[in-house]
Amino acid sequence: MSSKMNPMDPASYNHKHARVNGINYHYVDEGGHNDQVIVLAHGFPDLWYGWRYQIPYLVKLGYRVIVPDFRGYGQTDAPHIEPGDKEGIRTYGLKNICKDMAQLLDVAVGPNSRAIFIGHDWGAMSVWRMCLHYPERVQAVGAICVPFNPPNNEYVTPEQLVKAWPQWKYQLWFIKSTTDQELNSDIPRALACTFRGAGENTGLIAASSINQLPTNPDRSPKMKLSEKEFEYYCKQFARTGFHGPLNWYRTRRVNFEDEQGDLARRITIPALMVLAEEDAALPPVMARNMPALVSKLTMKELKTAHFVMMEKPNELNVIIGDWLKAIGAGASKL
């Protein structure tokens, strides 16, 4: 682990800002500028900080690691979108998020540069879609919790989605415009109810209003979140609130539209899929079709709930490190 980077101290990382795809982006950039680049992509409701244990580990292995706060999160701009603004919400769609990542690489590394992309939750969705929208920029891809699924031929409404996967009922709450203010009204409560470990109350995803959440929830001991770490999350979410993060859930229609056309339906580059055995929202069974869709697939499981990077950081690091070594990351075979 780098002597400079301290996972307990967000300020100990190398923070940068850049103009990317029309907005101001914040990202962490660690490692040597001539090293193989890895981009780490966070999900909901997370930040670059969700990868705080993986960044120093990967830098120690010899990688350059770039970790953004995504559009809508933390110190990156969170454009406000009025309800019903279809073109506005498109800016939070996965195709545009992929454009964000491509342009961030242009700025941070150089035009047409390539990287290994690893994502969690919505970040995993984003890196899978990066393989479709910008395949020339992706050397290898890794995902935590969210499996690859090819573009749909028919639009699936949120209601149809929940009928197929009832554990996603919370998404019907998240897409309501009133939910922004509900969660903004008590950010510590919302976050404490989300960062839950294996075998614990599933919190936010089991609710359909903030009134269904515990009033003063304890922080999960399995997440190992210190008071200082939790305060950083709360402070960052207080900057722009939940409007930006929840907008990602409101992109279902535009994501479908953006994926109509001649996009790949299989992943042929080296890929890692890390499943969380006790993820209430994304159980491992959802990845059962992946071997038929991803030709160079490595699949692993960890006995954790959804936030693998916090609950089992060391075990996850070993899995990622072993995979990178196995695929010859940085060598000519990639």
Active site residues: 121, 249, 306
Taking alpha carbons only, the member of 271, 274, 270 closest to residue 282 is: 274
Taking alpha carbons only, the member of 55, 63, 47 closest to residue 139 is: 63
Q: What is d(CA 241, CA 234) in angstroms, rounded to the nearest whole number?
A: 10
Q: What is d(CA 326, CA 180) in angstroms, rounded to the nearest whole number?
A: 43
To the nearest 10 degrees (0 to 180), the angle between helices 122-133 and 94-108 is 80
Work out the widest C-alpha separation in the chain, in whole angstroms: 55
Question: Using alpha carbons only, what angle is made at residue 247 by residues 116 and 70, rounded to the nearest 5 degrees?
Answer: 30
Q: Which distant-in-sequence residues (6+ apart) come within 8 Å of 323 by Cβ?
A: 142, 270, 272, 298
